[in-house]
Amino acid sequence: MQLYNKLSAKEREALLEEAGEDRLTLSFYAYAKIGNPDLFRDHLFIAWDQMEVLGRIYVAHEGINAQLSVPAERFNEFKAFIDGIYFLEGVRLNIAIEHNLKSFLKLKVKVRDKIVADGLNDETFDVRNKGVHVDAKKFNDLLNDPNTVLVDMRNHYESEIGHFQGAITPDVDTFRDSLPIIEEDLAAHKEDKNLVMYCTGGIRCEKASAYYKHRGFKNVYQLEGGIIEYARQVEQQKLENKFIGKNFVFDHRRAERISDEVIAKCHQCGKPCDTHVNCANEACHLLFIQCEECAAKMDNCCSTKCKEIAALPYEEQKALRKGKHNSNKIFKKGRSEVLKYKS
């Protein structure tokens, strides 16, 4: 019984290009009590592997958080499968407005302590007592209300390339960092303001809204389906688009363009740019914004030092990556002293 990927990312990429079949990029989440996450994980992997589903899925006792790439011709089969799981029947699927054949190259279903690392003790408050879910139209109406405070629940590298007009965008590295900062900044408005939150697909707001209600905020709202669903509704219903720039996404596309504005800049030269890349030095892998000119000049690296390392033979690069002392240098998100124009 296969419970793991047998193909490498490169092998999968070649098969996807050869097949040339349309695929849908989508995401969903659900909070539920899962008694045996390991067994549920195996059940999902076996079924989805047979459907040629790819993606990144986290399963925990508290529920599931999934970002997926599904063959378009097998979507109905996929939908029937998840509808057959009692707590996923009719779950909202956030379908991307831009699809990419290679948004995911592997199927990864992992068991975690939580489906989102929030640092909260869920036993201290009722996670079911959530804020009011609002659609794109109601969300726009709330933004037009001078009594509204709009908060972006995402991290700095996400909001840097795109956010809603007038939103508070905390300069944080993680979701858990944002929770106490926002509460402290808005402490004086727990009763007299509308606290309206949004994130990529809705999952962070789902927990945050319950937490803030527990902490005394009276009027708490969240954008249902997040930016992904907002963009879809705006397009379908011809609503005013209040989002500027790109929506950062956690797959190989890295972002979806929601409006034509470019609100970020290249971290190396300061030129208007909103394209995230990873440093070509695998021992660094820093996520940062880089324009085409700097990419060519720096060989897709974040610094001269990384450029020199990336030019070394593969075995020499591999040797330099050895050792636990190097592990904390990898997968940083847009913060480094080498990035001169990082805002």
pLDDT band at 12 (very low <50, low <70, confident <90, very high): low
Categorize the per-residue pLDDT at 72 as very low, low, confident or very high, splitting at 50, 70 and 90.
very high
Q: Are 266 and 290 in contact (CB under 8 A)?
A: yes
Q: Which pLDDT score, from 0 to 100, does residue 6 have?
A: 67
pLDDT, average across residues 298-305: 96
Percent of the chain with pLDDT over 90: 79
Could you read off the pLDDT of 149-172 as tens digits, one per residue? 999 999 999 999 999 999 999 999
pLDDT band at 324 (very low <50, low <70, confident <90, very high): low
Reduced to 3 states (helix: H, G, I; strand: E, B; else coil), residue 247 is strand
pLDDT reported for residue 329: 60
Q: Please, which pLDDT band fits residue 327 given cuts at 50, 70 and 90? A: low
Q: Are 298 and 307 in contact (CB under 8 A)?
A: yes
Q: So which residues are the catalytic ones? A: 199
Question: Which pairs from 188-191 meet CB under 8 Å and 24+ separation?
Answer: 189/149, 190/215, 190/216, 190/217, 190/218, 191/216, 191/218
What Rg, from alpha-carbon coordinates, does the chain have? 21
What residues does each domain of the chain span? Answer: 9-111, 122-232, 264-343
pLDDT of 325 reads 61
Coil, strand or helix at 92: coil
According to the model, what pLDDT value does residue 103 have? 87
pLDDT band at 38 (very low <50, low <70, confident <90, very high): very high
Q: Does 178 have pLDDT greater than 90?
A: yes
Q: Which of 13-17, 150-154, 182-186, 335-339 is least confident?
A: 13-17
Q: Using an 8 Å Cβ cutoff, are 133 and 286 in contact? A: no
Q: At 232, phi and psi to the nearest 5?
A: -65, -45
Q: What is the per-residue pLDDT for 15?
A: 66
| Across 244-259, average pLDDT | 94
**pLDDT, average across residues 223-251:** 96
What's the pTM value of the predicted model, to 2 decimals? 0.88
Exposure letters 144-179 (e unless 16+ CB within 10 A, then b): eeeebbbbbbbbbbbbbbbbbeebbbbebeebeebb
Query: 287 near 276, Cβ under 8 Å?
Result: yes
Q: Is 76 exposed, middle or buried (0-12, 13-18, 19+ CB in 10 A)?
A: exposed
What integer is the mean pLDDT of 237-263?
Answer: 96
Residue 309 clears pLDDT 90, i.e. is over it: yes
Provide the mean pLDDT of the chain.
92
Spatial neighbors of 70 by CB under 8 A, at least 6 apart, are 23, 24, 26, 51, 53, 78
Tokens of 154: 């995402």
Q: Class for domain 122-232, per CATH?
A: alpha beta
Alpha helix (H) ranges present in the chain? 9-19, 37-50, 75-83, 136-143, 156-159, 175-185, 203-214, 226-237, 292-298, 304-310, 314-320
pLDDT tens digits for range 78-115: 999 999 999 999 999 999 887 677 789 999 999 999 99
What SS3 state is found at 157? helix
Q: Is the pLDDT of residue 328 over 60?
A: no
* CATH assignment, 9-111: 3.30.70.100
Q: How confident is the model at residue 199 (pLDDT cuts 50, 70, 90)?
A: very high
Q: Using the predicted structure, report yes or no on whether residue 125 has a pLDDT greater than 60.
A: yes
1 has pLDDT over 60: no
At 179 the three-state DSSP class reads helix
Q: Enter the tokens of residue 178.
A: 């944002």
**pLDDT confidence bin for 124, thresholds 50/70/90:** confident
Backbone angle region of 257, left / alpha / beta, with phi > 0 → left and psi within -120 to 50 → alpha: beta
Question: Binning pLDDT at 50, 70 and 90, where does residue 195 land?
Answer: very high
Give me the mean pLDDT over the 162-185 stretch. 95
329 or 340, which is more confident: 340
